[in-house]
Amino acid sequence: MFEIREMTADDWPAVWQIVEPVFRKGDTYAVSRSITEDEAKAWWSKMPLATFVAVDGAGAILGTYYLKRNQEGGGAHVCNCGYIVGEQARGQGVASAMCAHSQREAIARGFRAMQFNFVVATNETAVRLWKHHGFEIVGTLPDAFLHPDGRYVDALVMSKQLLPPGE
């Protein structure tokens, strides 16, 4: 079993061990494959409103996610998240638990909706999981992502209302 808690500064080395291989592989996040550790740390844990980790009973970090505003001003009521699960923890429900947790956190922080701006269409596991959690594909950005294999693939915009309209 595992729990989800806010990330601490001491967690960063273990979080970096999880996010670095994903960024280097370059097939799911629109970040430079040569991102430095300092740049990644700022992007993943300093610019968001909050960053969380999923930890097992021994305290080992299994996955991580961030929560941030999708836009400012008139769009500040919509949040955005990014999730990464460590290779050794995939298939154990960590991403699903983090998605559910992020929605509760978003509501608690006053957000009315959650939007994923750039889900790489070839990331079928993520698309299936987000749909399972009630997200809908509201737009397709044709050929918006240059996959490391040299193909241009679509990126999806996925959204979910967290509170009923007018509430």
Q: Would you state the pLDDT for residue 167?
A: 66
Residue 165 has pLDDT above 90, yes or no: no
Asked if the structure places residue 129 within a domain, the reply is yes
Asked if the structure places residue 51 within a domain, the reply is yes
Asked if the structure places residue 64 within a domain, the reply is yes
Asked if the structure places residue 166 within a domain, the reply is no
CATH number for 136 = 3.40.630.30
Domain count, the chain: 1
Q: Would you state the pLDDT for residue 1?
A: 82
For 23-37, what is the mean pLDDT? 96
Domain that holds residue 46: 2-161
Asked if the structure places residue 167 within a domain, the reply is no
Convert the pLDDT of each residue in 127-157 to its tens digit.
999 999 999 999 999 999 999 999 999 999 9
Share of the chain above pLDDT 90, in %: 95
Q: Under a CB-based contact definition with an 8 Å cutoff, are residues 4 and 93 in contact?
A: no
Residue 8 has pLDDT above 80, yes or no: yes
Q: Would you state the pLDDT for residue 164?
A: 79
Share of the chain above pLDDT 70, in %: 99
Alpha-carbon distance of 130 to 124, in angstroms, equals 10
Asked if the structure places residue 27 within a domain, the reply is yes
Convert the pLDDT of each residue in 71-101 to its tens digit.
999 999 999 999 999 999 998 999 999 999 9
3-state secondary structure the chain: CEEEEECCHHHHHHHHHHHHHHHHHCCCCCCCCCCCHHHHHHHHHHCCCEEEEEEECCCCEEEEEEEEECCCHHHCCEEEEEEEECHHHCCCCHHHHHHHHHHHHHHHCCCCEEEEEEEECCCHHHHHHHHHCCCEEEEEEEEEEECCCCCEEEEEEEEEECCCCCC
**pLDDT, the chain, mean:** 96
